[in-house]
Structure 1
Amino acid sequence: MGTLLSYSGLTTKIRAMESRLLKEPQYREISELLTVPQVVAYLKQQPGYQKLWSEVDEEKLHRNEVEHLLRRTIYQDFARIYHFANPEQRKFLDLYFKRYEIVAIKQCMNNIFDHRDVVLDLSLFVEFFERHSKLNLEKLTGSSSMEEFIENLKGSEYYAVLSRLKDSMVHPLVFDYGMVLDQRYFTQIWKAKQKLFKGVDLEEVTMAYGQKFDMLNLNWIYRSKKYYRMSPHQIYPLLIPVRYKLKRDEVKRMVEAESDEELKTLLYQSYYAKIRSEMSPESLEEAYVYILRSILEKEARSHPHSVAVMYSYLYHKEHEINRLTTAVECVRYGIRPEETIQYVMKN
């Protein structure tokens, strides 16, 4: 009864927000549009964007500004959920929020490594980050080198990890910095879950993140061998140090597989091939999306008064923004509607 009461208001709020998520017919309508301003005008008529974008002039927006506005809706929805959450529920949201900090950090690092003269404008996100983060976005976006950028991270939990990487490698790439941030975040979640959650919430967090990490590792093993031709000793440090349904020796055999065919055979013998029988190495990214979405939808239905309802909504909202970002790019480059919808629905 306590769990039911503590989640009842929040669940009702999230269900209302879910009703405003876009459906496939709406994406198909967007794919038929001819210009990016038309896409923005269309979104202004949708319940999930109508109020937030009412003052937006679609004719004056650049592509990057559209993408920023789309991402801003994720943060606004997160803030709504946070407002309705109690202190216990906010423990999950505080942990989840770190992914948004890492996204912002990666954007800044990409700008530095690309040597772009364009000033990265994250001003739309400042108010949100001031409430939930210790990062100083103004300082970070103004950094012109990695040395300055890392110095501007002092006081945050990311300073030490990026400093160590910079000192341990001769010329670390943006990929290296991003990978170490992701690994730290994933490991942090796995270690913290036992302290933060219990009962059904603990079971759901363990299942959702456990399968997520397994699938990310499978994807990376395949991509690193297929496209980058990495050796086993190069692959091991890049894997998330978490095992859920994949056994350690199973991962070892995949990493050290001597051929694509051997890797494919091992994949077909894994736990995840039983969940998605048509899964192949080439479709691992689609399988990752399918499996995680299926878990979250099932758990949110089975346990509507649990952490699953928050995780499921945020997952679906982020994928909506990914789909819309893809749609905007396709419309911008004049991709045919039938191709556009295929790209969009893969996300």
Structure 2
Amino acid sequence: MTNKAAGALTAKAKAMFGERIRPEEYQTMLQKKSVAEVAAYLKNETYYRDVLAGINEKAIHRGQLEALLRQGLFMRFSSLMRYVGSSKDGFYRYGIIENEIHEILNCIQSFESNDKIVFIAKMPTYIEQQTSFKISNLVNVHTFDELLEVLKNTDYAQILRPHRTEKMDDFDFAACESALRNYYFETVLKMIEKGFSGSDRKDIEEIFLTQVELENITKIYRLKKYFNASVSQIKELISPIRINFTKKDIEYLVEHCDADGIIAYIDKTKYGRYFDPQRFVDIEYFTKHISFNINKHYLYFNSSPDIVLLAYMVLSEMEVQNIVDIIEGIRYKISPEKIQRLLIY
């Protein structure tokens, strides 16, 4: 990447972040009474107007709205990728791999409900030319064996095959999800090693390793608080990858802490600077809040275009999730105050 292209990418990503949804705009959306009202507001009053142009907001399904918001995210990513040299194309497939895994897991979850309307509505067919399998084929998948057939020419088939069961009642979704997420992070770390060096490699590794570690913390907390999981069960579901915690730290959390003890322990670590135990909402909010602050710092203070692009995408994904949380909250008639506590910005 030339210095000119690097400067253009950094400037464009920061300018795009400047167009983000503001606190007062979230407040306005929280007062809406339906998905249609939120869609109309996004279409007419925010930078999502481009991707939502032409929709009939009165008839749009919540799944279709989410798909369009994510399509807008992909379009912004593509516009920034024009400045990235071809030598980095391999690394930037990380987003495609993450989408593939997301759709595989959504497909498995749709087996139980036998209702594919939401699954189909959210399907990101706009990335299909870049995926390792035809995502739209998942629409016709109703069994685990059919899923394996669609994925037969990919790494995913080998990962999923050991989890196959005769009855889906016996299927261990958490173990399957964990295996796919471990594959994702191991693959990304190999791509980072191949595509980067020096401080850029160190910083990009930190972004992804922190994500793994925060997912581990979330898993340990949830498994202890809500599922009363045993030490051996927890160890099977967490990744060995870490960055700010030592192996002994993780072992201590798993073997000796209850849910409240985990929060108290984390407060004494590097992550404690982002955390007030007295204002703890839930573990997902806490870990996403950490990620938000780390990536916002990278966006504003790092001069590397690759770091800025990656940080921008993480922050933009959080924004889309904020809007999805508002939509779902309105649909289930959750109070604006409770929805507000889920939002990270």
What TM-score do the two structures reach when normalised by structure 1?
A: 0.88
Which residue pairs with 2:113 in the alignment?
114
Q: Which structure ranks higher in relative contact order (CA pairs < 8 Å, sequence separation ≥ 6)?
A: 1
Which residue pairs with 2:243 in the alignment?
244
* Aligned-partner Cα distance in 2 for 1:14–1:261: 39
Look up the equivalent residue of 2:274 and give its one-letter code.
Answer: R
* Aligned-partner Cα distance in 1 for 2:332–2:166: 42
* Aligned-partner Cα distance in 1 for 2:219–2:78: 32
Cα gap change, 1:129 to 1:81, in 2 (>3 Å): farther
Residue 175 of structure 1, CA deviation: 2.9
Residues 113 and 174, structure 1, Cα contact 8 Å, conserved in 2:
no
Residue 61 of structure 1, CA deviation: 1.3
Residues 35 and 332, structure 1, Cα contact 8 Å, conserved in 2:
yes
Residue 263 of structure 1, CA deviation: 4.3
Which residue pairs with 2:148 in the alignment?
150
Which runs of structure 2 are paired with 1:254-269 in the superposition (5 Å)? Answer: 254-257=253-256, 259-260=258-259, 263=262, 266-269=265-268
Cα gap change, 1:37 to 1:13, in 2 (>3 Å): same
* Aligned-partner Cα distance in 2 for 1:207–1:10: 21
Q: How much identity, in percent, do the aligned residues show?
A: 21
Residues 120 and 139, structure 2, Cα contact 8 Å, conserved in 1:
yes
* Aligned-partner Cα distance in 2 for 1:72–1:247: 38
Which residue pairs with 1:205 in the alignment?
204
Cα gap change, 1:261 to 1:149, in 2 (>3 Å): closer
2:164 paired with 1:173: no
Cα gap change, 1:71 to 1:164, in 2 (>3 Å): same
Aligned alpha-carbon RMSD (Å): 2.7
Which residue pairs with 2:157 in the alignment?
159
Residues 11 and 309, structure 1, Cα contact 8 Å, conserved in 2:
yes
* Aligned-partner Cα distance in 1 for 2:54–2:3: 39
Runs of 4+ in 1 over 6 A off after TM superposition: 167-170
Look up the equivalent residue of 1:164 and give its one-letter code.
Answer: P
Residue 282 of structure 1, CA deviation: 6.5
Residues 9 and 83, structure 2, Cα contact 8 Å, conserved in 1:
yes
* Aligned-partner Cα distance in 2 for 1:285–1:138: 30
* Aligned-partner Cα distance in 1 for 2:20–2:118: 32
Deviates more, 1:156-165 or 1:7-16: 7-16
Which residue pairs with 1:26 in the alignment?
25
Residue 269 of structure 1, CA deviation: 4.1
* Aligned-partner Cα distance in 2 for 1:64–1:119: 5
Unpaired stretches in structure 1, ≥5 consecutive residues? none
Which runs of structure 2 are paired with 1:206-225 in the superposition (5 Å)? Answer: 206-225=205-224
- SS of the residue aligned with 2:44? coil
Residues 174 and 237, structure 2, Cα contact 8 Å, conserved in 1:
no
Which residue pairs with 1:71 in the alignment?
70
Which residue pairs with 1:310 in the alignment?
309
- SS of the residue aligned with 1:177? helix
* Aligned-partner Cα distance in 2 for 1:123–1:265: 38
* Aligned-partner Cα distance in 2 for 1:251–1:169: 34
* Aligned-partner Cα distance in 2 for 1:330–1:283: 16
* Aligned-partner Cα distance in 2 for 1:260–1:54: 46
Look up the equivalent residue of 1:159 and give its one-letter code.
Answer: A
Look up the equivalent residue of 1:173 and give its one-letter code.
Answer: D
Residues 91 and 188, structure 2, Cα contact 8 Å, conserved in 1:
no
Residues 8 and 83, structure 2, Cα contact 8 Å, conserved in 1:
yes
Residue 20 of structure 1, CA deviation: 2.2
Look up the equivalent residue of 2:150 and give its one-letter code.
Answer: N
Which residue pairs with 1:17 in the alignment?
16
Residues 246 and 271, structure 1, Cα contact 8 Å, conserved in 2:
no
2:288 paired with 1:289: yes
Cα gap change, 1:305 to 1:5, in 2 (>3 Å): farther
* Aligned-partner Cα distance in 2 for 1:342–1:167: 39
- Give the aligned length: 343
